Amino acid sequence: MERTNPATGETTETYDEHDDGQVEDRLSRAESTFETFRDWSVAERETKLATVATLLRDRTAEYAELMTREMGKPIAQAEAEVEKCAWVCDHYAEHAGRYLQDERHPSPPGSAVKTVYEPLGPVLAIMPWNFPFWQAFRFAAPYVAAGNVGLLKHASNVPGCALAIEDVFRDAGFPDGAFQTLLIPSDRVETILSDPRVKAATLTGSGPAGEAVAATAGENLKKTVLELGGSDPYVVLDDADIEAAATTGAWARNLNGGQSCIAAKRFVVHDAVYDAFIERFVAAVESLTVGDPTDRDTDVGPQARQDLMEGIHEQVTESVDAGATVLTGGEPLDREGAYYPPTVLADVPRGCPVDAEEVFGPVAAVYRVFDEEAAIEKANDTEFGLGASVWTNDLDRGERVAGRIDAGCTYINELVKSDPRVPFGGVKQSGYGRELAEAGIKEFVNRKTVWRQRAEKSDENEVPTE
């Protein structure tokens, strides 16, 4: 596995893949570690997570620079990502015990019935490169807090990040097998997921990758959580604060170089405010600084790989050929590195690539609609259903419109974001299951019913029922 700096195109380091023997050692260690780790109290696991949070903050500069070198994230955004990882550890260090406390149920006299939440075992996580620390910690913090052990198959272009995450759990005092990285290519995932020692899997990635993981897991009757692609609508109604909508929209589309499942991608704007929004939106997009990701003044760095940048440009070119109009951007920058400028397309034809596909880069598609009903219809005109934003000064109206948009999360007068305190996930082709908050920690547990009955002589004629 090669670590290539996308800002320069230079290969800076090479990592050896784990061979079959090394993978076997890690699977065996995960299984044996789980047998003792599952007996740790929730309080013990919470204490170790708090230590992870402290180590992350102590190592912010180191880990941020690592992300920037491997996938091109602007350094200030990389530092914010490390802090967010510490936050999710703080959250479960404080709340895991409450989320997992026994649930009592009504029962007959002389009995007590409850549900307890027990860990499943080793969980395989297949994670992407776009948020190389956050994606892993979003899975690791709740699942380890619940007593599971983690196996991380990270994207092949961020091996340094993957190994650093393994280090921080070990350095915090977790057992060696509680969180391990597998440096393997994607074509070896099926074999590992089929292994009986792996009890469940979670994936954040593309639709085809999700289908493959779900198929293998289904054949082996294993639970999965999938967070797949998104083509989030950003709906601007006629009574919206246009300045706020345009300014936030520019950031919502271009944060992390536009490489985000929950980035605003399709801007659905009411005709009454369309011209005013376009003027301010294009100006806000053009004000973003594209440049060296190690420079603190940079807003948008390079795309994570040269081939990814070329794929984005192909989607733009085909859409323009189909009739879309370029308002700004639209051509790779003439400089070293995988740089693509923030781009805005209008007059976007239905079915062209930027309309029908997920565009995983800094390209915004803008649509003019003539009423609220048309805005809702266009927002739902996608196979995806991850997030959505609605902009209006009437919050009741905003909630009503948000309620009719098919998405896992909807935000009114705000960009879509993940937050440890609330469940996160999608519908339709954006996947299933939820991460974060109480819902997330309970995805990979055994909800076990425990019935306690006072010992009494039973009626010999009593017939048990199911």
Which positions are catalytic? 227, 261
Could you tell me which residues are beta bridge partners of residue 364? 344
**What number of helices (H) and strands (E) belong to the chain?**
15, 18
> What's the rounded Cα separation, in Å, for the pair 154 and 412?
33
Two tokens at 252?
A: 């919502």
Of 120, 125, 121, 144, residue with least CA distance to 135 = 125
> What's the rounded Cα separation, in Å, for the pair 430 and 227?
6
Q: Is residue 300 within 8 Å of residue 333, measured between CB atoms?
A: no
Own/partner contacts of 377-382, CB < 8 Å, gap of 24 or more, are 378/233, 378/266, 378/268, 379/233, 379/235, 379/266, 379/268, 379/405, 380/233, 380/404, 380/405, 380/406, 381/350, 382/231, 382/233, 382/266, 382/356, 382/428
Q: What amino acid is encoded at 68 in this protein?
A: T
Q: What amino acid is encoded at 33 in this protein?
A: T
Of 184, 158, 14, residue with least CA distance to 72 = 158
139-168 as b/e: b if 16+ CB within 10 A: bbbbbbbbbbbbbbbbbbbbbbbbebbbeb
Q: In what order do the strands lie in the sheet with 179-181?
A: 179-181, 149-153, 122-126, 200-204, 223-227, 431-432
Secondary structure (DSSP) of 264-316 = EEEEEEEHHHHHHHHHHHHHHHHTSPB--TTSTT-SB---SSHHHHHHHHHHH
SS3 432: strand
